[in-house]
Structure 1
Amino acid sequence: MTRTGFFSAISRVFMWSFLLALVVVVAYPLLWMVLNGFKTNTELFGNPFALPLQLNWENYVTAWNRGVSDYLTASVLVTVTSTIATVFISAWAAYGLTRVRMPFGRTVSGLILGGLMLAPAVALVPLVRMFQAMGLYNTFWALLILYTAFRIPFTTFLIRAYMIDLPREVDEAAEVDGASRWTTFWRITLPMCKPIIISTVILHVLFAWNEYLFAMVFTSGTGVQTLPVGLTSLLSKHGTDYPVVFAGMVVAALPVIVLFFASQRYFIKGLSEGIGK
C-alpha cells in the first residue's frame, strides 16, 4: 500500500467513526425516550437504561387521555395554517423583490430582511397588551399571527435567494403570451421553486411545532395550548408518572421525524441551491 493509499484509508476510518459516533449521539436519546415510554415508574427509577420488562402501551393511552390528543390537534392546526400563510406570503414577497421593478426596492428588501434581527422576547410585553386589547389573547389567531409574522423575513430571505437565479426569459415569454403576474407567479415561478418551498415548509413546521415561548405566554387553556406547553401539564408536584410523560413526548416527536425523512431529499436540495446562490 502506498503512502497516499494509507492516509486515504485512515481518513475513511476516521470519517466513518465520526459519523457512527454522531448517529449514536443523535439516535440514542430518541431510542431511550421511546423505551422509557413503555416502562413503569418503578422500572424507570430502578434502571433507566435497561430495556422495559414488557411493553406498557397503557402509558400512551393514558397520555392521550390526559390531553395529548387536544394538544396534538392544536399543534397541527396552528402549524398547518401558519405554514401555509408564511410560505405563501413569503413566496409572493420574494417574487415581487426579484421580478418587479419598484422604487426603493432595495430599501424594501432591507426592511423585510431586517426583521431577522428582531428578537421575539423583546416584543413580548407590547404584543401581550396589543393582543389583549384586540381580543385575540388566548386564541389560535394569536399564535397564527405571531408564527407567521416572525418567520416571514427568514422565509422570504431563503425563497428570494433561490428566485434570483431563475431564468427571467420564462417570465418574459409568459408575459408575451398575455399571462398576468399572478398567473406567472402561480403557474410558472412557484413550481420552479419546489425544492426551496419544501425546505421552507419543513423549517417552518419544525419552528411552529416546537415553539414554546409564544405558546406559553399567549395561551392558557387546554383547547388552544400546543404540545410543547401542554406536555408540561403531565408533570405533577405530587408525583409524576414519567413513562406517561415520555409517551407524550414520543407522540409529539413522531410526526416531525416522519415528515423530515419523507422529504429530506428536497430539503437538502432546496437549501443547498438556495443558500449557495
Structure 2
Amino acid sequence: MVSRPGFLGVIARVFLWAFLLCLAVVVLYPLLWMVLNGFKTNTELFGDPFAMPSSWSFESYRKAWNRGVSGYLTTSVLVTLTSTLATVFVSAWAAYGLTRVNIPLNRVVTMGILGGLMLAPTVALVPLVKMFQAMGLYNSFWALLILYTAFRVPFTTFLIRAYMIDLPREVDEAAEMDGCGRWTAFWRIILPMCKPIITSTVLLHILFAWNEYLFAMVFTSGEGVQTLPVGLTSLMSRHGTDFPVVFAGMVIAALPVVLLFFLGQRYIVRGLADGVGK
C-alpha cells in the first residue's frame, strides 16, 4: 500500500516547484527578451524595451549576418571542432597511458598533468603573447587551437582517467591474448567502452571553446580569425549602435550552444556520474 504524502510533504513539494519555476524564469526570460529585441527597431527598443515588437521582421538578423556574423560563425565552428578533436584525442590517449600502461613515475606524471588544473589562464597571458609572437603564431587560427587544447587537456584527462580506472583489466588481457597491440586495444576496445565520458567531454569542450572570450580577444585581431564572442563587439559603434542588430547577432551566436545543451545534457550528466561519481 502506497502512503500519501503528508501536509508537510505537500508544502515542501509546492515550494520546490515554485523555486524551480522562478529559476526557469530567471534563466529563460533574458534569452526570450534578447530574441524579441532582435525583431524591433532602435526606436521601439528604447521606447519600451519590454514590449512585444510591432512587426516580426528578420531584417536585423539579415543585417547581423551580412555584417560579419557569418564569418565569425565559420571561424568559431572551425576552432571549436578542431580543438575538440585534438583535446579529446590527446586526453584519452594520455588517460589510457596513465591507467592501462605501467610507465615509470606514473604517479608523478599524473600529478603533473592534473597540476595544470591549478594554472589560471590570466597568469600566463603575457609570456604566452611573447612566445606566440616569436613563433609567428600570434593572430592566427593555430594560436587558438593550441591554447584551447593545452588548457583543457588536464581537465579532460582527469575526467577520462577517472572513468578508465574502473574498466576491467580482463579486457586488456583478452586483447593481448588475441594479438592486439596497444593502439588497437585503445582504439577498438577501450575507447568504445568510454563512450559516455567521451561524449561528456566533447560536449563540455564545445561549450567552453564556443563561449571563450579572453584568449580569442588577446590572441586575435583580424576579421578572418576572430570568433563569435569577440566578433560581436564589432557590431557596436561609437557613432550610434543598431542594438536590434547586436541582439540578433547574439541570438545567432547563442542558438547552436543552447540547442546542443538541451540535446546533450543527459549525456553530460550520465558521463560525469559514471566517471567521477564512481
TM-score by length of 2: 0.97
| 2:149 counterpart of 1:148 | yes
Q: Report the CA distance between 1:4 and its aligned residue.
A: 5.8
| 2:18 counterpart of 1:17 | yes
Aligned to 2:186: 185
Aligned to 2:177: 176
Matched letter for residue 136 of structure 1:
L
Q: Deviations over 1:147-185 (max 9, x none)?
A: 000000000001111111111111111111111111111
Aligned pairs for 1:1-150 (under 5 A) are: 5-150=6-151
Q: CA RMSD in A?
A: 1.2
Matched letter for residue 196 of structure 1:
I
Q: For 1:124, what is the secondary structure of its paired residue?
A: helix
Matched letter for residue 126 of structure 2:
V
Q: Report the CA distance between 1:13 and its aligned residue.
A: 0.7
2-side partners of 1:79 and 1:30: how far apart?
23
1-side partners of 2:5 and 2:138: how far apart?
66
2-side partners of 1:76 and 1:217: how far apart?
19
Equivalenced residue count is 276
Q: Report the CA distance between 1:56 and its aligned residue.
A: 2.0
2-side partners of 1:272 and 1:14: how far apart?
27
Q: Share of identical aligned residues, percent?
A: 78
1-side partners of 2:259 and 2:171: how far apart?
36
Q: Deviations over 1:13-56 (max 9, x none)?
A: 11111111111111111101000011100111111111111112
Q: Report the CA distance between 1:3 and its aligned residue.
A: 10
2-side partners of 1:181 and 1:135: how far apart?
36
Going from structure 1 to structure 2, the CA distance change for 1:74 and 1:4 (only over 3 Å counts) comes to closer
Aligned pairs for 1:160-239 (under 5 A) are: 160-239=161-240
Q: Deviations over 1:71-107 (max 9, x none)?
A: 0011000000000000000000011111111111000
Q: For 2:6, what is the secondary structure of its paired residue?
A: helix
Q: Which runs of 5+ in 2 are unaligned?
A: none
**Range that drifts further, 256-265 or 181-190:** 256-265
1-side partners of 2:204 and 2:161: how far apart?
16
Q: Deviations over 1:119-141 (max 9, x none)?
A: 11111111111111111111000
2-side partners of 1:195 and 1:122: how far apart?
33
Going from structure 1 to structure 2, the CA distance change for 1:131 and 1:16 (only over 3 Å counts) comes to same
Moved over 6 A (4+): none
Matched letter for residue 118 of structure 1:
L
Q: Which runs of 5+ in 1 are unaligned?
A: none
2-side partners of 1:45 and 1:195: how far apart?
47
Q: Report the CA distance between 1:68 and its aligned residue.
A: 0.3
2-side partners of 1:109 and 1:197: how far apart?
19
2-side partners of 1:221 and 1:233: how far apart?
11
Matched letter for residue 275 of structure 1:
V
Matched letter for residue 71 of structure 1:
Y
Matched letter for residue 56 of structure 1:
S
Matched letter for residue 85 of structure 1:
A
